[in-house]
Structure 1
Amino acid sequence: MNRPTRRKFLKQVAAGGVAASITISGTKSSGQVLGANDRVRVAVAGINGRGKIHMAVFGGMKDVEVTHLVDPDSRLFKSRSALVEQQTGKKPHCVQDIREALDDASLDAVSIATPNHWHALMTIWACQAGKDVYVEKPCSHTIVEGRRMVEAAQKYNRIVQHGTQWRSDPKWQAYTTDIREGKYGKLQTANIQIFRPRTSIGFKAAVPPPRELDYDLWTGPAPMKPFRTNLVHYQWHWMWDYGAGEIGNLGAHEFEMARWAMPENADPKSVVSLGGRFGYEDQAETPNTQLTLYDFGDAKLVCQQRGLHFDKPLRMGIDFHTDEGTIKDGKFYPRGKKTGEVIEGAPLSGLPENYARAHFQNFVDCVRSRKSEDLASDMLDGHRTGVVAHLGNISYRLGEKTSFNNSPKGLSENQIAAESFDEMKRHLVDAAGINLSNATYQLGPTLQFNPQTEQFHDSPEANQLLARPSRSGFELPNVNS
């Protein structure tokens, strides 16, 4: 799949262009360029949280219709259907199984806001059915899933947009272009901070699922486990069977921008990750505190994630350290100076809603034009970003408990990473009152990764985590076999 050029801003394409060469019968979007007034019919899958944004944005677009709402939990249908009808005057068709929507020949696209473990299968099924796809971050649950999604988008000539909305922000485009092209010196280390408090999910006993919830369908390709009330609808993020923790949740946004500031073809070559769940005990599995170091060759990437309460309860940002200074919070601090120079037009932290809307609009424009090269974040970009998150989690999951008295050797060679470990320890003392002298953390191995083959060097254990077994009836298709 062609990826968008980074040296010019990704334009919003008008209607028109060259028709796709591969046609899948049965849908009006399968191979033709849609006219400016042709209605784009969209199914929104996953309608509890983020899906409500999808419904509202698509519902507010001219000549776009939300025709289907898809969710295994039918308890949501009445209220969500009413929202769409109130906004558009038309009542959507509500189904629990995405395959029912895909059977509708008039459907053009699927917008996916389901739990992560459904992203790949739903995307591939939609591509096979001749539908275009907008899929939330992270695009996949494993590295193999992401690669299969890229292959499906290519084989079936589908428009597939990854839901990292900063890609459609002209300020971030200019900001990262200047960094990549050396305006502030040669990039050495990008330092991501994701500081967002996450409370305990507690302990819940296994109970029968609500009769309105098709729990077998909700589980889908994941292993079948007993239903608990702290899984549906949001806490699945912190369970390995369904989510990727914070590094795959909010981290996907930051990884996309950090990658955009690096050289065009920069990919991670090694990774080491550490952390744990601190401050409380519960049934969640992913770390609420995590520190990961990536080697991209000429540049390094540090990702700090903190999920306990502290003085400033929310920060999503990236500091860029170059051989000439530091770029932080919209200012450039030349080396040796404490006063920063304001960068005119620098993006702010957070995600203004108009940029999110622009990202959805970019997708619809490309559905009309059939020009995947104009996507702000296509499937290959989404996969490359997903790989970064998955690598960090694979190292962490293979880790062993070690005393805080032992500094992680894998991080000591990078000053930013070493300082971040010291800051993490101070955070744990301040936020959770942890006595570090008798506490432990999980330290993962330093893994060498080949981005061309998407395999680890000399680590069969890590390669086992590149994919996962699929449950019967929900197998991941191999579109190239």
Structure 2
Amino acid sequence: MTRNQQTRREFLEESMLVAASTVTGNIAYGDTWQQNDARHGANNRLGVAVLGVRGRGASHLRAFAKRSDTQVVMICDPDQQIAHKRADEVEAMQGRRPQVSADLRRAFDADHVDLISIATPNHWHALAAVWAMQAGKDVYVEKPVSHNMTEGRRMVQASRRYGRICQAGMQPRSHPGLREAIEFLHQKKLGKVRVAKGINFTPRRSIGTVGRFQPPPELDYDLWLGPSWNRDSATANLHFDWQWQWAFGNGELGNRGFHQMDIARWGLGMNRLSDRVLSYGGRFGFQDEADAPNTQVVHHEYGDQSLVVEIRGLKTVARRNIRAGVIFECEEGYLVVSSYSNATAFSSDGRKLRTFSGRGDHFDNFVQAVRHRRVHDLHADIEQGHLSSALCHLANISYRLGRPTPAQLAWTVLDGFPTNDQARRTWDWTLRHLVENQIPLEHLTICVGRPLTIDSSLELVKSDDEANAMLTTHYRPPFVLPSQSDLGFS
């Protein structure tokens, strides 16, 4: 493909983004859980415990407190200042004050708690979910559902072993507009999908210089750490900065970029891991306490189909008014997902064919599935959450095992892995983005990740012990994830 042809395609793609801006997969298990708890009957109000209420957890509280069939009965957060503040807010919404506990384990022991809603930092997601399901609770867990790939499979196993409903916080999957658009793709109305390209342009500032900071005095830091080990230093803004530290978070890819990864995989119709993955990028523009890159590109290969995600954390111009979306490049046109609930289909020459819109309620989908004990009713069963989270984890492993490479030579290292022209265009866009942020390329090094070949049936990396060691972690007692054998799996 010539540079002129690339420019034409880039122009066409961006034109469709401008226009766009103005089905869940099969599940290989029984449709109805045999366990049908009496407390989940239509006339009973379900008691909800929300774990982690500083950020996203506040939305969980509002979602359950406003319903007539659920009631927030417990708030668990190691920061007691924010916990009591949220308890006041919930009391104003539902007329009854929830209990407050610093230790989330209290919720698992409480008979009046039916549902556990998890919005903790990522390193707590899996352990809290598995413990909750072992205690007989149904679970809603934020994305990414796991902090590493092994945890995700363990959550699926716990759901199956204990017959619990477990919904992943993948809200776009409950929006009718997006569900119809994905079904449109699956019906091959635009032919086969060649490339699914996710973009997430969320500018982020530095999290601050390396230093020794004390955790906030109102925080029980031991409970906050949970399964993770203490670090030599904290950051000045612990409650947000954990996202960019591997000990607790998964970077922007596992944060907002997760939704682009999930929508892209969903549109491809892939209910498995990819065949190969490579990621490159770096943390450019400043030096701080963060581990995760602020500029990252991911290439997953599914046979002759590709899934690409592009993360930009520096100042950047929206791609025709869109900062987060997915573009499906198909044989006979394009589908542009311009928000979590809107999409537009185009012909190959850029004619608008159809628009899709409409929002839904992901929490309601969860509650209804719990009441009817029908896992098939879930729009985002834990298996789907695991697979999309795992694609993020594998990409981050590739990146973390990469080597700093001079920017002028990096493409020669990459050449031969990505098998489509989208790869070259994304590389060019990345360099352009860095130059626009006054980052000179002459002496710049880019971390070029290690190519990983995946055995999707075993959920392992082929012939790479170092990568496979990063599929799990060493837990801090007593906050230890139950093993497969603990859950009845060999």
Task: Give your verdict on TM over 0.5.
Answer: yes
Q: Distance in 2 between matches of 1:396 and 1:201?
A: 20
Q: Residue type matched to 1:404 in 2?
A: A
Deviations 1:313-336 (Å, cap 9, x if unpaired)? 96110011112232235444433x
CA contact (8 A) 1:195 1:316 kept: yes
Alignment of 1:152-163 (within 5 A): 152-163=158-169
Alignment of 1:40-189 (within 5 A): 40-189=46-195
Residue 180 of structure 1 deviates from its aligned partner by 1.9
Partner of 1:224: 230
CA contact (8 A) 2:24 2:173 kept: no
CA contact (8 A) 1:164 1:377 kept: yes
Q: Residue type matched to 1:48 in 2?
A: R
Q: Residue type matched to 2:95 in 1?
A: G
Partner of 1:409: 415
Alignment of 1:38-437 (within 5 A): 38-203=44-209, 205-226=211-232, 228-230=234-236, 232-263=238-269, 265-312=271-318, 315-328=323-336, 329=338, 330-335=343-348, 337=349, 339-346=350-357, 355=360, 358-406=361-409, 407=411, 408-430=414-436, 432-437=437-442
Residue 93 of structure 1 deviates from its aligned partner by 0.4
Q: Residue type matched to 2:152 in 1?
A: G
Question: 1:215–1:410: structure 2 CA closer, same or farther, 3 Å change rule?
Answer: farther
Question: 1:127–1:365: structure 2 CA closer, same or farther, 3 Å change rule?
Answer: same
Residue 137 of structure 1 deviates from its aligned partner by 0.2
SS at match of 2:38: coil
Q: Distance in 1 between matches of 2:400 and 2:146?
A: 18
Alignment of 1:18-37 (within 5 A): 20-22=33-35, 31-32=37-38, 34-37=40-43
SS at match of 1:80: helix
Deviations 1:114-145 (Å, cap 9, x if unpaired)? 00000000000000111110000000001100
Deviations 1:196-223 (Å, cap 9, x if unpaired)? 1011001253233333211011011111
Q: Residue type matched to 2:202 in 1?
A: R
RMSD: 2.0
Residue 251 of structure 1 deviates from its aligned partner by 2.0
SS at match of 2:356: coil
> What's the TM-score once normalised by structure 1's chain length?
0.90
Deviating 4+ runs (over 4 angstroms): 4-7
Q: Distance in 2 between matches of 1:266 and 1:45?
A: 30
Residue 267 of structure 1 deviates from its aligned partner by 3.2
Question: Where does structure 2 lack aligned partners over 5 or more consecutive residues?
Answer: 1-22
CA contact (8 A) 2:258 2:388 kept: yes
Question: Where does structure 1 lack aligned partners over 5 or more consecutive residues?
Answer: 8-16, 23-29, 348-353
Residue 281 of structure 1 deviates from its aligned partner by 1.1
SS at match of 2:266: helix
Residue 344 of structure 1 deviates from its aligned partner by 2.6
Residue 257 of structure 1 deviates from its aligned partner by 1.5
SS at match of 2:386: helix
CA contact (8 A) 2:24 2:380 kept: no
CA contact (8 A) 1:410 1:446 kept: no
SS at match of 2:185: helix
Partner of 2:453: 448
Aligned residue pair count: 451
Q: Distance in 1 between matches of 2:271 and 2:79?
A: 42
Q: Distance in 1 between matches of 2:418 and 2:301?
A: 13
SS at match of 1:124: helix
Q: Distance in 2 between matches of 1:252 and 1:73?
A: 26
CA contact (8 A) 1:209 1:227 kept: no
Residue 434 of structure 1 deviates from its aligned partner by 1.0
Deviations 1:66-97 (Å, cap 9, x if unpaired)? 00111111111231111001111110101011
SS at match of 1:474: coil
SS at match of 2:442: helix
Q: Residue type matched to 1:460 in 2?
A: D
Question: 1:102–1:35: structure 2 CA closer, same or farther, 3 Å change rule?
Answer: same
CA contact (8 A) 1:411 1:418 kept: no
Q: What is the aligned counterpart of 1:461 among 443, 460, 466?
A: 466
Q: Distance in 1 between matches of 2:271 and 2:235?
A: 43
